[in-house]
Structures are given as C-alpha cells and as structure tokens.
A and B are shown apart, each in its own frame.
Chain A
Amino acid sequence: MGLNRRSFIKYASLAAAGNAAALRPFGALNALAQGASSYKALVCVFLFGGNDANNTLIQFDTAGYNNYSTIRGPLAIPQSQLLQLSALPNFALNPNLPDIQTLFDNKNAAFVANVGTLIEPTTKAQFKAGTDLPTNLFSHPDQQLEWQNASASGSTSTGWAGRIADTLNASYNPGASVPMITSVAGDTLFCNGSASTPVSVSPGNLSGAQCSEGTTECNAQKATAQALLSFDSGLTLVQADNSITSNAYNYAQTLTAATQSVTPLMTVFPANNALAAQLKQIAQIIQVRAALGVTRQIFFCGIGNFDTHADQLALQNALLASISPALAAFYAATVEMGVQNSVTTFTMSDFSRTFQPNSNTGSDHAWGSHHIVIGGAVNGGQMYGTFPTLALNGPDDSGTNGRWVPSTGSVQYAATLASWFGVSTAQMPSIFPNIGSFSTANLGFV
C-alpha cells in the first residue's frame, strides 16, 4: 500500500517537461493520446465462483506454512509441492501456477493481498456492528456484480469499466469503429456504461454470419434483414434486440475486415483451454488496434467452476493448471506484438473461500482474496496490500471460519488500474463514488 513512487514520478516528469497542457485535464489526455506508443489495454480475467485464494498464494516460511497446514487439514497442499517465489521467499504459489511464478520472479506480475468488496475501510468490529457493509456478502451474484461495478450494491446499472469508457472514449478513441470495451465472455455488468455498451465476440468466430444463398441474394437478404431492424415496433424488448443486432452486423464487418488483413500471431496458445481461446481472441484484436482506431481498450474474459464446496483440491488444481499457461501465452503474445508494457492483465473473482475446510473436502463462501496483476507496466515481484492473519476468529476473521475482512477495497484495486489507464484524479470520483472513503486511490502496483 502507499503511493507508488514510479507512478508518481511518471506524472511528475510529465509536468516537469514543461507541457503546460498537462495542467489541464483535457489537454493532458490529448497529449497522452498522441503517438502509437500511447496504446493501453486492461484485460480482466474473472474467476467465476470464488477462487480459493488461500490455496493460491500460501505462506511458505515454517511458522506460516505450519499454521496453514494445521487449520486447512485436508485442503492443505504439501509444502514440498508449492512453488516458492524467489522474489518473495516467504510465500509460494499453488503448484499449478508455474507460469505465474516465472512472471512474478521476472517482475512482470504482482499480487495484491486480501482485496475485497468494501464501502469504506472496515474493521472486524465494524463488520460485527453491521454498519456500511457491502450488500449480500457471501452471495455469488451479488459479489460478482459488486466487484464489477465497484459500488455498494449489485443493483446499479453500470460497471466500472463501462464508466471508464463513458469518460475516456471520446478523448482516446475518436473515430473508432468499435467500442472501447470488448467482452469475449458474454455481457457482464463490468462492461456496461450509461452511454457505452461493449462489443461482444465469440472466441474464434469473428467471420460474421454465414449465408448460403448466392452472393447477390446474400447481400440483398442482409439489407432487408437490417431494414427490418430499423422500424419502431413500439415494443421495448424488440427495440433492444434491434439495437444489439444492428451493432452486431456493424462490428462483425469491421472486425472481420481488420483481422483478415494481418498475419496471424506466432504465439502458440494452449489447446482445449477455454481461457486460452478467449485470450487468444483478445490478442488478435489488440493486433489490429490501429485498424480499429482505438488507443484505449478494455477486455473482459473469464472462466467458471471455482465454487469448490467439495473435492476442492482436484477441482481448483485443474482450473489453476488451465489459467497458468493461458496467461503465460497471452503475455508472450503481447511481447510478440511489442505491447507488453501497454497491456495490463488482472484477476477478479466473487470472493475467496473459508480458510477452514468443510466436512466435504471443500470450502465455503468468504470475502477478502488475493489477486494477480500481470504486464510489463506492473511493478512486479512484489505483494501489495496486507496479507491477513490466518487465524480462525483472529483479528482479520469476520467470524470463526476464516472469512477475511478485506484490508484493501476492490475499488482501490480498480482505481489503481484505472489511473494507469488514463483516468485522472479529477475523474476518479465520478467513476468510483466511494474512492474518497479510502486513504489512497492508487496502490502503486502498476
């Protein structure tokens, strides 16, 4: 925690360069937006179901490991299998995350410890008193939405990426042929703004709609089909679907043309890996960013089944074993494109899981979690935030089962990423209404 030196220096140097425009927000944006090197992308990897962070990042020193092993019992991973972090030797990773270990030790990845949904900094005592807490803690849908909208409840209609797009799109992506946000995992609240909606892409299916009639008739048929979308039926849902489908025709045409014009990336992504397929699609779109006319992009992808109430070891291990090479391949693709310093990838998840096991070799819904941030711009090889005291009914336990009260708000995590992306201090409160309740809006990890 604390203000990060490197990002502070970045801003200071901009002002010191004598760029008077830097003192005015819009001038600063325009200055940043110029030049090919100014491209930036955020990539959200959502781990649906609540990844058990307790078995992702594990204390490795003797006392720490013994504490872990004693409480976790059947869920504890043998110390000999853990992947010790040379840059942070008191901690180790789940044995299925070797690529993350490499990225971390090469300082291209960081961990942010015990992040969770919060309205304001919250202590165990405040949790017990029940004041100003997120809505419906421990509920999957609610906590997914609250991570995505960085708000006090899941009922708001915009996500934080969507609000960034609302704020920055006109400055950074004037004349772009696609929205700032692309989802390769369907629509989520994260992507929705009040003025902007994402383009959704089905991985590997960029080529537009199939048509089996002759070329002439296909064009004519398409024109009539589009014309049918254009008249006002007076029915709310029909109009909504008209809008989605009209956009779909336009985006498919744009993306198809752009991606067919480039040589495919050389980077090999793992096969039969859902997340890898999504990340590969994202890389292909980043590759054609110039043709799309974008200098800022946010991507959403994700996989599920992290809700490991039973058989956790086998289930979580398999999931982590699939995301590790997928994230590594994606990072390699950004290196291939020379944009590794312009692309920052980060994880989000519903919540972590109880440190205490349940009687079904699983764990249950909890709260504060540890998250991974990857990219050349990341101040890697470090852990940010405060690692919790892993004691049942201890100072960080909201109850008695090891559901950690977060020491860092998910909104701070999001705001740090947003700041790197180009959101100014002045713009922060409109995108993250609660950010002023926290001591800092920039955790410094990127």
Chain B
Amino acid sequence: MATRIGLRFSRNCLRLVCGLLGVGVLGLAGCGGSGQNGPPITQPQVTVSGGAQVRLGSTAQFTATVTGETSSAVTWQVNGVNGGSAAVGTISAAGLYTPPVTIPAANPVSITAVSVAAPTLTGSANELIWNPLPAVTSAVVSQNYGATSGLLTVMGTGFVSGSQVQAAGTSQTTTFVSATQLQATVPLGTGVATVSVDVVNPDPGGTTSTVASAQVQTSLESASRLLDQATFGPTLTDIAHVQTVGLQGYLNEQFAMTPTLEPDIATPPPALCATNTIPCQQAEWWQAALTAPDQLRQRVAFAMSEMFVISTNSDNARAVTTYQNTLVNDAFGNFYTMMKDVTLSPGMGAYLNMLNSAKPGTIGGVLQIANENYGREFMQLFTTGIDMLNQDGSPQLDSNGNPIPVYTETQVQAFARVYTGWTYATASGGIPANFPNNTPNYDAPMAAVESQHDMNSKTLLNGTTLPAGQSSSQDLTGALTNIFNHTNVGPFVCRQLIQHLVTSNPSPAYVSRIAAVFANDGSVQAVRGNLQAVVQAILLDPEARAGDANPSPSDGHLREPLLYMTDVMRGLGFTFTGGGAGTGAEYYNSPGNYTTALGEKPYTSGAVFNFFPPNYVIPGTTTNAPEFGIENTAAAILRLTLADNLVYNRITDFSVDLSATSALGMTASATGNATTDSTNLVNALSNIFMHGQMPAQMQTDIVNHVATLTNIPERVRVATYLVITSSLYKIEH
C-alpha cells in the first residue's frame, strides 16, 4: 500500500483525472498504476452493482466487487464527491445511497466505488433518480359558503413540486406545500359532499396514487365569520362543528333548539341581590350569552333588545327578566307577535308609560291629554321610523326633495288614545278591579280596564279608522295591524337587524332583499314578518358572506362593549369559578362591572334610544356606524384596560388558562424555536378571533414582538392583548 501511494502528487493528480473521465469506465489502464512491479495475472478492477434507479425518499444499496487487489475495501463517491452531497445525494460507507430531496439537475448521477487498496482503481454505475410514489393519507375540501370552488388540501407522502392533483379524474393547478401536503382550488357543484382525489407524480418514474375521497367541508373563514355574526363569539369547538355541518345546517340546528329562558328571580331574592334585584337579572343575561346553546336565538334577542329598548334604570329587574324571555321566545316567530308581546309586556309598559295610561279628558277639573310616549316611540323607534322609506331603506322624497313624514302629531295622539286603559294584571293574570293597579305583576301581560280606555274613533296611518266603541283589545289589534302592514316596517327593522348582526353599512340592495323576505317569506302562505326567514336571509345573503373570501372597504361593525366582552371570554375559554360554581346557583353578573365604564351593561340604556343610535355618523365622515356612538378617545383607553384585565385573568368570578400548559401556551412553546412558535401562536389567535384572516403585516408585527418574549405565559398574554386591542379585531368584519 505504501508503495502505491508514495507519490502524493500523482495520487491527487490521478483522482482528478479519474473524476474528469467520468462514469462507466471500468479498469482504466492509464489510471490503474499498471506497468509497476511486473505484469499482473489478472487486470485489477472494481465493479459496482445495484439497481439502475431509485425513488426520492427511498434508498438504493450498491455493492462493489474488487478483483485483483488484496483488499476489497472501497470508498464511495457520488458524481466524484466522496460520500456525495445534499445536492446529488449521499452514500454511506456501506454503499447505501440516499437520493437528494429533489431530483438533481443532472440525472442520472454517477455512483463510484474507489478501491482503498488502489485509489486509482475505481468502478462506477449510473443511477437514475425517480420521483417518489405518491400516497394520499387524507384529503379535505374547504369551501366558502356559496362558492363554486373550494380549497382542496391533500395530505400524504411522496409529493414533489411537479405533483398534480386530480379531482374527479381531472388535473388541477396544484400548489406544492411540502412533501406531505398539496393544495389545489377545485371546482365544486352545488351540494357536492365528497370529491375523489388522486395525485400524479411526473416522470421520471411518474406514477399515480390510489384514489381517496375528500370530504367537502365549510371553510374556517365562513364558519367562524358566521359564528361571529350569529352568536356571542366563536369557539374552536363551534367553528369545527359549523365546518362539519355547514352554515345552513348550523342555522337549522339553531332554529330548532329549545329557547334558553331566564328563571324568575326568586322570592325572596338570593343574597347577591337581596337589596337590589338588578344584579340577578344581569347575571342571568351574562350566563345565557356566555353559555346558552341556542346562541343564535340569544343573539337575535339581544339585537331586538337594542331596538325595543327597556332599561333597569326605570324598570324593575323582574319585569326585565320577563321581557328578555319574551324577546327570546319571539326571536324566530312573526314580527307581529313580537310587536304585540312587547307592547303588552309589563317591562315596556312601565318603561314607555303605556302602563296606567288613562283615557284623556277632564280629570279632577283639569283637562288632560293621553300620554303620547308609547304612541310616538313605538312608531318612531320600533317599527316605522319618522320618514317614508323605499324598500331599500332610502328615504322617499316629495317633489321638493324633502322627506315625507310617516305620521303627524294628530296621529300620535290617536295612537296614544288607542293605548289607554292598560295596567298590571292581577296575580292570576286577570283584569284588576282598580285602575291603576298598583300591585305589580311582572310576569303576565298587562290587562285592560275598559272604563279607562278611550272609546272614541281614531284615525291611524294611511287613513285607517278605528270605529268608536271598540274595546281596548280591539283597538290594540287594529292599531298593531295598521302599523305592521305599513311599508316602512320591513326596511326599517331589517336594516337595523343587519346593522346589529352583520354590517353598519349594508348596501341598499342588501336591505331591499331582506325587506322583500320580510314582506313575503316565500312560503305557500306568503307570510309577512317571518323573523326566522329574515334572520336566515340576513346571515346567508351574498353581501354578508362576501367577506368570507375578501373584506370590502365598507365591511363590518364595531364590536360594542358587551359583544367584545363575550367574544373574548368565549374565545379564550373563560370558565365560571365564583361562588356556587357547579351548583346551578352561579351568578354570572361580574362581567358587566367591566363593560360599564365603556358605556354598556345589559338592559341599562340611559334612554329608549339605546346605547347608540342606528343612524350615528362617525365625526368628520359620512360613514354610518352605530356602535361608534360610544367609541371615543375615552372609551378606547378604557377598552385597553379591559383587554389587560382579560389577558391577566382578572375578571372576578371567572378564570382563564393562558399558562404554558394551556392549549395556546403549548402552541407558543412547541418547538422551542421562538419565531416558529410565535407564528403558530398568532395563527391560532387569528383562527379564534379573526376567522383566520389576520393581515400578513399584523401577523408579522405581533410575531416579531412576542418572539422576543421567552416567558411563555407572557408571550401568550401579550400576543392575545395585541390581537384583541387592534382595530382590525375590534371591527368585526
């Protein structure tokens, strides 16, 4: 051996020459050192054997046979490089060749064995590298509601950048994500539930996987956005459920659900509200908002409570509980029923003074008029508004370009007289002997004392006249029917419902479509005022769903403080830990203590105009945005404080786990790579709070910030804080 490698320079020289001479040349005499020490008996040579090709992702075993040398030992090269390289593949000392990650530019590669005993003695074989065998382990199609295509994600093995997804046998433009994931946008017919999927890998070695079935499910974006619009806040569980059952499926489930009603406050009241029953009523509201399964019904009832406003500022809390249950019960019923139930509720009666409104006339020698409060506000705020509307919600104008009033002061007085004669029902719900009945019955609809009802004729809207001599109930039915059938009611009510559930600035066409459903639900009976149909139409309208793909500039509405609170609490998974936890006697009232400073607490509006007016315009703009009526530089600061309390687990009687062992904490620390973990954390928060639609710049800013935090709970808290204090989150869109 020493004699053969004695000439160091020549060895180097020879190796270079052999490499340059390349592949497939066995037993090159000029390199073999022949002519030394006499003629050999057999020509020494190295022979390499192994398969002619290998697939990416697998390996090939080579063997070298050395003849004519004392040692059979060899070293291995790939394309002349000892041991190979990442670019051309590597080969072990035992000749096990591992191809590179992707097919190299020069294919095949040369596998060379070099004799250890005689380094100038080499043997080579060409190895052609093939694409791997693709295999599909799972596939799913994520489809935005109403879209004609969906995003197919194929999970499996053996994928390469040229892999082609076939859906129902047709090739699709395919995005290579990784060797285990491909994506493609695939066309979907209406109602398609599954798509057959396979993957074709290209030559060299091109093959097709077996066919798998991809379930078509609703996209996270659609599912989460719907839940944001239709509930008190998406949870990951609910999102996954809606992705499975679809938007319509979810709505159907919700429509069918038993209403969650608030129990009457006990008599005597529990300790929490021994001296003031309001906290008990509020506790029930929060509990239903945070935990009730019939979320859509509760959310619609909440919207209605911001249109048909009453308040514990002047109402007994027991009456408010009854009232809330009325709205919950009627949320998916007919609007006429809601009008009537609201009108006769003791809560509304006391709030807008239909309760105990006596017929006008000379009383004690003094001429008195009928109380106009309910007569006016029932039209102005609850049903018709002041000005005549087109079906799309825009005002009708007279020949001078001025709005046209819906009613006159005289008509207000006529309605005021309609609503006379009502007082609290007796304990058994009957008609009391006295007027006013000063023994409250907060549960039963008000009862009429006919002697206190104005029986003169009344001229109502559109010239409709109620004849003289009608009873309280006859007049009430006549008046409510008169208003219910006014053409303003559909656009007036539907536009506000859209504003509460979906967007502050619906297009006129959107309002018009929903008002059309209000006028006629499309059933055989052509029902007017079908709220279930209206709610469904609002939520599934193309304008409501357009943001599932891309938000438009005018999208969305500000999360009012109550909905902000419930959304964060539900999203992060706050649980009740206060007194009575798990006993059925929990009192969930404390969240209101945190929203009060921001201008909201359930059923505490300062006036019948709600916490904010539906026509509020952002100062300095022409943008209608109701919730901005309570968003200002003071409220913005207070919301930052609320966010701090939320992420710092400081909500009295509630607890949230944002520790290192929580779901978010584990996401935030899974790999130990700060950037990777922070990215995954922020993506998880985007899924919970922003429908997976966080803009890239926001994501980058937050990741860059929290990646510097090594304390995992702090990383989770700060990332969460930055998400929930951003305007992009505060504006639900």
Contacts and interface: CB of A to CB of B under 8 A. Distances in A.
Interface string B497-536: 0000000110000000000000000000000000000000
Interface residues of B, number: 91
A140 B709 CA distance: 53
Given A187-B619, A244-B632, A359-B368, A228 B376 contact: no
B369 A241 contact: no
B38 interface: no
Contact of B717 (A162, A199, A213, A392): A213
Interface string A291-330: 0000000000000110101100000000000000000000
A356 B368 contact: yes
Given A202-B634, A224-B702, A305-B606, A139 B380 contact: yes
B731 A251 contact: no
Interface in B610-636: 613, 615, 617-623, 625, 628-636
Contacts of A49: 607
Nearest to B623: A236
A229 B356 contact: no
B728 A233 contact: yes
B363 A359 contact: yes
A48 B607 contact: yes
A359 B697 contact: no
A299 to B, nearest CB: 13
Interface stretch (B121-129, B139-147, B661-669, B719-727): B719-727
A201 B701 contact: no
Interface in A181-218: 183, 186-187, 191-195, 197-202, 205, 208-213, 217
Contacts of A64: none
Nearest to A209: B640
B632 to A, nearest CB: 4
Interface string B697-732: 110011001001100001001100110011110110
B732 to A, nearest CB: 9
A197 B607 contact: no
Contact of A235 (B380, B555, B606): B555
B721 A221 contact: yes
A221 B725 CA distance: 11
Nearest to A220: B705
A20 interface: no
A74 interface: yes
A240 interface: yes
A198 B631 CA distance: 12
A188 to B, nearest CB: 9
A392 B362 CA distance: 14
Given A240-B625, A359-B361, A235 B551 contact: yes
Contact of B369 (A183, A234, A358): A358
A237 B628 CA distance: 9
Given A49-B607, A304-B607, A364 B727 contact: no
Given A186-B599, A356-B368, A365 B733 contact: no
A101 B671 CA distance: 74
Contact of A228 (B370, B607, B701): B701
A228 B728 contact: yes
A125 interface: no
B705 A358 contact: no
A333 B361 CA distance: 49
Nearest to B612: A186
Nearest to A154: B615
Given A205-B638, A228-B722, A237 B623 contact: yes
Interface string B34-52: 0000000000000000000
B633 A248 contact: yes
Given A73-B368, A305-B313, A234 B353 contact: no
Interface in B224-270: none
Contacts of A202: 597, 634-635, 637-638
A401 interface: yes
A200 B648 CA distance: 27
Interface size class of A (residues with CB under 8 A): 35 or more
Nearest to B631: A244
Given A136-B386, A205-B638, A238-B731, A360 B353 contact: yes
Contacts of A247: 633
B346 interface: no
B731 A237 contact: yes
Contacts of A237: 504, 554-558, 623, 625, 628, 731, 733
A360 B372 CA distance: 10
A417 to B, nearest CB: 21
Contacts of A74: 363-364, 366, 368
B353 to A, nearest CB: 4
A65 interface: no
A138 interface: yes
Contact of A359 (B371, B628, B701, B727): B371
A139 B366 CA distance: 26
B360 A192 contact: no
Contact of B718 (A217, A357, A358): A217
B586 interface: no
Interface in B541-580: 551, 553-558
B357 A244 contact: no
A365 B606 contact: no
B459 interface: no
B724 to A, nearest CB: 10
A116 interface: no
B372 A359 contact: no
A48 B363 CA distance: 30
Contacts of A140: 607, 609
B358 interface: yes
A73 B607 contact: no
Given A240-B621, A362-B353, A235 B556 contact: yes
A225 B637 contact: no
Interface string A141-163: 11000000000000001000010
Contacts of A392: 367
A202 B636 CA distance: 10
A364 B373 contact: yes
A359 B637 contact: no
Contacts of B625: 237, 240
Given A202-B634, A238-B733, A359 B370 contact: yes
B575 to A, nearest CB: 21
B645 interface: yes
A359 B420 contact: yes
Q: Which of B635, B637, B641 is the most central at the interface, judged by chain A CB atoms within 10 Å of its CB?
A: B637
Interface in B387-444: 403, 405, 409, 412, 420
A197 B633 CA distance: 10
B489 interface: no
A231 interface: yes
Contacts of A70: 366
B6 interface: no
Q: Which of A195, A237, A247 is the most central at the interface, judged by chain B CB atoms within 10 Å of its CB?
A: A237
B633 A225 contact: no
Nearest to B357: A360
B634 A200 contact: yes
A213 B366 contact: no
A309 B356 CA distance: 11
A220 B721 CA distance: 12
Contacts of A235: 551, 553-556, 728, 731, 733
Given A310-B373, A359-B371, 18 more contacts: A71-B366, A72-B366, A73-B366, A74-B363, A136-B386, A141-B609, A157-B617, A186-B629, A187-B631, A198-B632, A217-B718, A221-B722, A228-B727, A229-B726, A235-B551, A238-B727, A242-B727, A244-B631
22 contacts: A48-B607, A73-B368, A139-B380, A186-B634, A187-B628, A192-B620, A208-B637, A209-B638, A209-B640, A212-B648, A221-B721, A225-B721, A228-B702, A231-B698, A235-B733, A236-B505, A236-B553, A237-B733, A247-B633, A307-B373, A309-B373, A365-B372
List 7 tightest A-B contacts by C-beta distance, closest first.
A73-B366, A209-B640, A200-B632, A248-B636, A192-B619, A309-B373, A241-B727
